[in-house]
Every structure is written in C-alpha cells, then in structure tokens.
C-alpha cells in the first residue's frame, strides 16, 4: 500500500474519535519534533484491560515509511478496532 494512502486511512480512523473498545492508540517518538524514528501501537480490548504494545523503529521518519504505515493499517484492521487514537506530535526520547 502506498504511504499516502495508508496515512489517509489512519487519519480517517483517528478523525472518528472514541467509539468504544477495542481501541488502538498510536504514539510517535523521536530525537526531535521533526523526525519520528519510532512508533508505539497500543491495543486495549476493553476498559481496564491490560494494554498490549508493539513498537516499530526506522532510521528515517516512520511516518513516511511505507512498510511501517502498511503494518499499522493491517494491525488496525485485524484488531477490528472501534476507536483509533493518535497522540499529537512527536514525543522526545
């Protein structure tokens, strides 16, 4: 899947807001606010349930990495997530 298409699909899911569980949360990390070299995707099945987390890293910006963005879409689809949330900006590591 092309990176722009993947980013648009993720943005469309995020725009819907909280619609209940299961919930996916995306958070980007990097050494500066301009370049996110890591992304954490967190899955919560129901309120109060243990959060499962998976991380992907890249030498370049993960937001522009086609493989990682496609993987995020597949995880969201397979989890049948009702809500997709995204932490704004890039958290500094």
| Mean pLDDT of the chain, nearest integer | 95
| 34-64 core/surface letters (b: 16 or more CB in 10 A; e: else) | eebbbbbbbbbeeeeeeeeeeebebeeebbe
pLDDT of residue 16: 96
Residue 1 has pLDDT above 80, yes or no: no
CA pair distance 51, 43, nearest whole angstrom: 6
pLDDT of residue 2: 87
Compute the average pLDDT of residues 10-33: 96
pLDDT of residue 11: 95
**What tens digit of pLDDT does each residue of 44-57 get?**
999 999 999 999 99
Return the number of other C-beta atoms located less than 10 Å from residue 1's C-beta: 14
């Amino acid at each position: 899947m092309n990176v722009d298409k993947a980013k648009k699909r993720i943005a469309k899911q995020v725009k819907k807001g909280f619609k209940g569980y299961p919930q996916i949360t995306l958070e980007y990390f990097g050494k500066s606010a301009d370049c996110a070299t890591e992304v954490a995707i967190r899955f919560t099945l129901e309120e109060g349930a243990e959060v499962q987390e998976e991380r992907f890293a890249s030498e370049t910006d993960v937001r522009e990495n086609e493989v990682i963005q496609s993987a995020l879409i597949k995880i969201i689809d397979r989890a049948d997530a009702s809500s997709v949330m995204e932490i704004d900006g890039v958290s500094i590591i």
